[in-house]
Amino acid sequence: MTNRTPRLPLAAVLTAVVFGSAAIAQSEQAGLRVGAARIDITGPAYRQRPTMREYAHEQLFLRAIVIDNGVTQAALLGADLGGINEDVWADASNRIAAKLDAPIANIIISPTHTHSDTPGSETPQRGTPRYGSAFVADVALQAVTEALSKLEPALVGYSSGEAHLNVNRDAVNPVTHLWTQASNLDAPSDKTVAVVSFVNPDGEPIAAYVNYAMHPVNGYLAGFRSGDFAGAMSRYVEQAFGDTMVTIFSQGASGDQNPRWIRTGTNAMASRSGADISGYEMVREDIEGPLRNREVAARNAHPEVARQLADYMQALGAILGEEVIRIMSHTDFSGAATPIWGKQMTLTCPGRRRLNSGREGMPGEYEDGDDVNIRLGVLAVGDIAIASGNAEIYSTIGQRVKKESPLAKTLFVTLANGRSNSGYIPDDESYGHQTFQVLGTRLKPGCAEAGIAAGVAELAGEYIAH
């Protein structure tokens, strides 16, 4: 492997985070040990609401994987939550770092980004976490503590495959010729399913860390709680192995990636608002708008419509889960002398402030705004680089990150380790799209795409140089 440190764009400033450096393990280290835990965080509202209670994905979990090489430790955490804000991440990561006696950069905490962790009218104000900071931090520490108690000799492996379930969602409406949210089969979409697997010396799975770029938006405003396809996938894989292992879903670069088929989710919203359901796929923006803006009094979705949506979520989870299991079945594993190393840095880009309003299909008007900070990180486990960014990032950027990383086994986790105030991060070419993601971003074009790719490559190169 060669050390490639790309030149950063002039508009970007990268700052190393002091607490992010960690010593690489020495060759005489002990063998790898791994433990994992899963904790139910569904909450009492689940038992009070008239939910179906038929599907595993109706329950929400926080999961943790702890990795120990005898010199240092690392933790991977994933939660069936819509988001984890900066204060929640800071509280949880500091407490976990103290528990592990490891740097914060050795910890990755991310949500699945399910849009149905809080159903219907219970949706919180914009920018607030679905659960309070203390609750999430408490459960995260509890999960890590439990995983620590289960440490056992382990091997680690990485492999990848494909799932053609996602699609680019930036599209032009053929009737209005305005930008909208719909399936665009001709636009970029990363189909890669990446899996970091941990097994014991007998080959029995301890845990899997899965990365795929698709928004869990199926249950948005559907009126019932669900972990969506991500939660369904995790439970499908876990139950395939007797429910003795843990599977974490991490969100790939999916700022412009939806499930390819949206009919069942749109039907559920239409059922709640009283709109007619024809059986055909409807324009999502037209159907969700009245519910999102509270223009109608939402009611429970018709049971048959809700059940069809839940079946669809389960089907997506099963298909993705089968690909994950196939990948795990054909993975080469290693356990001896596995270094663990982590570091974070801050990418600073020029910002902008929007002056007009309107969700989609119109030009935005802007003035200069404050600079925007984006937290980047690399947690390396052997020859595997788990890169992270704390925002919703477009697919093209994620593909560029993986392509330019000097480590071939690189995956990119977004919405990880807090949440930037950047809004969505489009690639430079997509700034011409008049979609809500592009119109609402606080970033000027020309900085973030190249800066994110260069920053991750720099961190990975620094790891190799050690």
Residue 275 CA to residue 298 CA, distance in Å, equals 11
Residue 371 and residue 350 in contact, taking contact as beta carbons nearer than 8 Å: yes
* Amino acid identity at 60: L
What's the length of the chain? 466
Residue 415 CA to residue 451 CA, distance in Å, equals 17
Residue 128 CA to residue 115 CA, distance in Å, equals 13
Residue 267 and residue 277 in contact, taking contact as beta carbons nearer than 8 Å: yes
Q: What is the DSSP letter of 403?
A: H
Largest pairwise CA distance in the chain:
67
Q: Which of 362, 342, 323 is nearest to 179 (CA)?
A: 362
Strands, E assignment, 47-102: 61-68, 73-79
* Strand partners for 1: none
Residue 246 CA to residue 234 CA, distance in Å, equals 8
Q: Name the strand (E) or helix (H) holding 342.
A: strand 340-354
Q: What is the pTM of this model?
A: 0.93
Strand 179-184 with 166-172, pairing: antiparallel
For residue 12, the model assigns a pLDDT of 53
> Alpha helix locations (H) across 180-280?
228-240, 263-273
Residue 445 CA to residue 359 CA, distance in Å, equals 19
For residue 25, the model assigns a pLDDT of 35
For residue 132, the model assigns a pLDDT of 64
For residue 3, the model assigns a pLDDT of 35
Q: What is the DSSP letter of 20?
A: G
**Residues in the chain with pLDDT values less than 50:** 1-11, 16-29, 46-48, 120-127
Residue 333 CA to residue 383 CA, distance in Å, equals 11
Residue 340 and residue 25 in contact, taking contact as beta carbons nearer than 8 Å: yes
Residue 348 and residue 260 in contact, taking contact as beta carbons nearer than 8 Å: no
Strand 205-212 with 246-251, pairing: parallel
For residue 337, the model assigns a pLDDT of 79
Tokens representing 352 are 């902008």
- The owner of tokens 């199926």 is 218
For residue 130, the model assigns a pLDDT of 58
